[in-house]
């Protein structure tokens, strides 16, 4: 079933070469091109989405640098963009999913081709948008939320009652704190500036520490001891995993967000005694789940979309043909101030 008014061609952003400087719009513009292509066709189990809005995340920046672990092997030229929202305009989805022409959905494109006017999605992977939730809100409701659900689920499985999160003031970090707190898990949130402490405390963090404090490592060790913490999520890399290992007690784990980390690790092997480092990759975690295991997570995503305190803050929006400026803005500004979005189809908002 398809919308009879579908065009035959659409505009698509393509990455022609690796971006040298993601903070420089001119450098980005040299590596990207806005192409006119045939509107893609769908197979059984797929839907065609008219894209309304896309959100730029840290993995988009890494993707443009060819440093994102999930897309490094995709040949260049290739697509751009992962997360967004839109309307179903053609569907071969299983009937039980209820994804008909006109359905509103939020999506995550693991092949990075969301920054296009039309996008093919596997019907099983999209999340219907609840009534009353805007395309803009829904377009920032998948990536961080799904990662947080899986991260906290891992903590619950391990019986952990406390956790260190090294990116406490970012969009993902703040959502993580809120969800962990709601399930009785104490969060030690790390920030870069004192001005970010109030944000994390309002989110429910048990302890908030400033990485810039001269006695930070001593404060971290004390907080870990007081909360009986044996687990840390790290999104900074460099020497941070080693500092965490040193502060954590025996039989502890440091889990690195492998999807967003591009720095090399500096580890003192002595700090690995009866402790370990692991990689957390939300994409891999999701692929390992059965459909029946995914359903409660998708239901939670929908609830969060409609819950103001669980929604991601949107800092600013750019027109579709201003993508280089949007990426530059996202890469340059403070992540705690909110996300940058690209409006693909203004008439849908």
pLDDT at 259 over 60: no
d(CA 18, CA 112): 14
Predicted confidence (pLDDT) at residue 24 exceeds the cutoff of 70: yes
Distance CA 192, CA 225 (A): 22
Structure confidence at residue 285 as a pLDDT band (50, 70, 90): confident
Nearest to 217 by CA among 121, 69, 225: 225
**Given this model, what pLDDT does residue 281 score?**
86
pLDDT at position 335: 64
State the average pLDDT over residues 168-188. Answer: 96
Mark out the alpha helices in 228-347 (DSSP H runs). 240-247, 282-287, 291-305, 323-332
Residue 231, CA distances (Å) to 92, 189, 239 in order:
43, 13, 17
Between strands 162-165 and 231-234, the pairing is: parallel
Residue 163 gets the label, from left (phi > 0), alpha (psi -120 to 50) or beta, of beta
Average pLDDT over residues 156-176: 95
Domain 9-141+312-348 annotated CATH 3.50.50.60:
no
Domain ranges of the chain: 9-141+312-348, 144-285
Same fold, 9-141+312-348 and 144-285: no
**Mean pLDDT, residues 137-161 taken together:** 96
Share of the chain above pLDDT 90, in %: 81
**Which DSSP string corresponds to 135-179?**
HHHHTTSSHHHHHHHHHHHHHHHTT-SEEEETTTTSHHHHHHHHH
Average pLDDT over residues 298-327: 95
pLDDT one-digit tens code per residue, 9-20: 999 999 999 999
Q: Which CATH class is domain 144-285?
A: alpha beta
- Please compute the mean of the pLDDT values over residues 67-91 and round it to a whole number: 94
Q: How confident is the model at residue 258 (pLDDT cuts 50, 70, 90)?
A: low
pLDDT of residue 151 exceeding 70: yes
Q: Is residue 1's pLDDT more than 70?
A: no
Which helix (H) or strand (E) segment holds residue 227: the answer is: helix 216-227
Quick: pLDDT tens for 231-250: 999 999 889 999 999 999 99
| CB-CB contact of 80 with 22 (8 Å) | no
- Residue 261 is predicted with a pLDDT of 60
């Amino acid at each position: 079933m398809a919308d009879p008014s579908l065009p035959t061609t659409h505009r698509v952003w393509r990455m022609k070469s690796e971006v040298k400087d993601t903070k420089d719009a001119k450098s980005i513009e040299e590596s990207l091109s806005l192409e006119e292509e045939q509107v893609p066709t769908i197979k059984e189990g797929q839907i065609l989405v008219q894209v309304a809005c896309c959100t730029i995340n840290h993995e988009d920046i890494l993707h443009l640098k060819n440093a994102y672990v999930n897309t490094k092997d995709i040949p260049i030229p290739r697509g751009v963009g992962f997360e967004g929202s839109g309307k179903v305009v053609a569907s071969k989805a299983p009937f039980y999913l209820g994804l008909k022409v006109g359905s509103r959905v939020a999506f995550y494109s693991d092949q990075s081709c969301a920054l296009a006017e039309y996008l093919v999605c596997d019907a099983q992977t999209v999340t219907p948008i609840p009534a009353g939730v805007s395309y803009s809100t829904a377009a920032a409701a998948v990536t961080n939320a799904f990662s947080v659900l899986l991260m906290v689920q891992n903590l619950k499985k391990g019986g952990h009652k406390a956790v260190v999160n090294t990116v406490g003031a970012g969009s993902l970090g703040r959502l993580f704190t809120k969800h962990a707190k709601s399930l009785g898990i104490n969060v030690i949130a790390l920030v870069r500036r004192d001005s970010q402490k109030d944000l994390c405390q309002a989110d429910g963090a048990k302890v908030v520490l400033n990485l810039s404090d001269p006695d930070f490592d001593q404060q971290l060790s004390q907080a870990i001891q007081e909360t009986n913490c044996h687990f840390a999520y790290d999104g900074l890399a460099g020497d941070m995993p080693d500092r965490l290992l040193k502060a954590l007690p025996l039989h502890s784990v440091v889990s690195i967000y492998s999807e967003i980390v591009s720095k090399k690790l500096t580890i003192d092997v002595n700090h690995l005694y009866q402790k370990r480092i692991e990689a957390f990759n939300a994409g891999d975690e999701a692929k390992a789940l059965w459909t029946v295991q995914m359903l409660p997570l998708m239901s939670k995503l929908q609830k969060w979309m409609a819950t103001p305190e669980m929604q991601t803050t949107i800092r600013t929006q750019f027109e579709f043909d201003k993508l280089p400026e949007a990426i530059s803005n996202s890469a340059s500004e403070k992540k705690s101030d909110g996300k940058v979005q690209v409006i693909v189809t203004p008439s849908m908002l």
